[in-house]
Amino acid sequence: MRLRLSTSALSLVALFTACSPANSKGGSDGVLDSGIGSDTALDPDSLVDDGGFVTDGFLPETTPTCGSSDCDKDGYTQSDGDCNDLDGTINPEAFDFAGDTVDNDCNGVVDDAVVNCAADATSKDAIQIVRSMDMCKQKTRTKSGAVFDALTKAEWFSTKTTGITTTITAGNQHGIGVGIFPSFGSNPPRNGAGMFGLQTGPVLSKDPRASSWMDGGNEKIADACTAIPLNAADCKSLTNGTSPAPGVGTPVADYTELRLTIQVPSNAQAMKFDFSFLSTEFNQYWHSAYNDAFFAIATTKKFTTNVAKDAKGSAITVNSGFFQLCPLPPGPSGIVMPEALVNCVGVAGDKTKSIFGTLAGTNFDGAGIGKTDDTVTDPTSGKKYIYGGGSGWLTTTFGVEPGEVITLRLMIMDTGDGYLDSAALIDNMSWEKAPPKLATGDTGRPPS
């Protein structure tokens, strides 16, 4: 028995009629079905959910095509490799999302999302660094014949002094402050075999509080807010909300940046990655105007802003609301400012609160210099402080438009001077089908 189509089903039939060639199996209704006569109605079950194909149960399903046309206006025709020219999110420049039972990238395999790729762990090359964070080439070829690669360009930036002026310079690299790691202390990668680490001093230093300035002198950017540049909210993050004196600016030192130019896959509406921040500024410079900071500044069609931030919109520093990887309160006896430990959950995180990560083996807990109570005594004042702490692993997700070209700048810096190092770990870069709750950056704790 035949049943009348619903309004939505009739709309779909109309779409096939407009975009499909005449039925090669004898039908004259433009619908790719059994090919028998001019069918005016189909069984409801004939509209299956396997990529928009239509069948009435008599013959195998037939892929809808538009011949030489680009019916879905995604820039790809069937001859270009588009396996479903009625859906603009399916083509060789799409990301094949795992679990959606769709061959998004048209390589003939369903759910084969690329989740990690090999990277040379000994390399400082910017492209190899990006591969260690799991942004990989895909498996399909574009119209040009090249394998689709979301990464268009990767470049190092750091400071260079000419005369008395220090600028952020392309191609300049603090090689001792970056690396690819199979682990960072007892922290394994979030995905794949490696992760990217950058530090305001030599990475894996046994005593990061004692490291000298990476540039070998008092080289600093006179005003980071102008030089980077930073918007007003991000600028205040560097000094814990303290405005610089008129004409003074906000100086930073030991600046390192990895700048990525990325073409968003044609079906992605969000980019995401995991990161962790560790600092020996804690707790001595807690709630002060001198803090190392990690920024991830994204430039899209709609905004330019730091997308890695806490609930108050502040960049990730020792003052961030996420900085909780530190000794349980009240902490070791005799420390100054024990109130800094109120939100701490311990040096090994707290899985019950979804705080993953550890200070063990990272040298950000004083263990590298033989300390057993995670403290250090300042040689000038004689006061006792916690040696360091961290944020634990975080995930940030920010909005993008399918197919657009964006810039992502991953940077770390020390405010005021080049002493007391901090580090950031970055891994597990990927894409999301749906936009995030907050387009300009939704940061929170990742799943385990």
Q: Are strands 422-432 and 270-279 parallel, antiparallel or unpaired?
A: antiparallel
For residues 145 and 36, state if they share a domain. no
Smallest CA-to-CA distance from 361 within 181, 116, 121 is with: 181
List of residues 6+ apart from 67 with CB closer than 8 A: 21, 77, 78
Supply φ then ψ for residue 156, to 5 degrees: -90, 145
Report the pLDDT averaged over residues 362-391.
Answer: 89
Is 294's pLDDT higher than 50? yes
- AA identity, residue 155: E
For residues 216 and 105, state if they share a domain. no
Smallest CA-to-CA distance from 343 within 275, 266, 283, 415 is with: 283
**Residue 397: per-residue pLDDT:** 98
CA 13 to chain CA centroid, Å, is 40
- AA identity, residue 184: F
Instruction: With beta carbons less than 8 A apart as the criterion, state whether 280 and 375 touch.
Output: no
Of 51, 84, 113, at which residue does a domain stop?
113
For residues 5 and 144, state if they share a domain. no
- Output the pTM of the full model: 0.84
How far are the Cα atoms of 9, 58, 316 from residue 47, in angstroms, in the given order? 8, 13, 50
CB atoms within 10 A of CB 236: 19
Structural domains of the chain, count: 3
**Residue 218: per-residue pLDDT:** 64
Instruction: With beta carbons less than 8 A apart as the criterion, state whether 18 and 85 touch.
Output: no
Q: Is residue 233 part of a domain?
A: yes
For residues 51 and 104, state if they share a domain. no
Is 16's pLDDT higher than 50? no
CB atoms within 10 A of CB 160: 15
For residues 91 and 195, state if they share a domain. no
For tokens 């814990």, the residue is: 240
Q: Is residue 347 part of a domain?
A: yes
**Residue 138: per-residue pLDDT:** 87
Locate 375 and state its tokens: 């403290």
**What confidence tens digit (pLDDT) does each residue in 218-256 have?**
678 888 999 999 988 888 888 888 776 666 788 899 999
Q: Which domain holds residue 235?
A: 126-444
Gap between the Cα atoms of 339 and 251, Å rounded? 28
Q: Is residue 6 part of a domain?
A: yes
Q: Are strands 220-221 and 195-199 parallel, antiparallel or unpaired?
A: unpaired
Percentage of residues of the chain with pLDDT beyond 70: 83
Locate 119 and state its tokens: 């990277």
Q: Is residue 119 part of a domain?
A: no
**What confidence tens digit (pLDDT) does each residue in 173-182 have?**
778 899 999 9
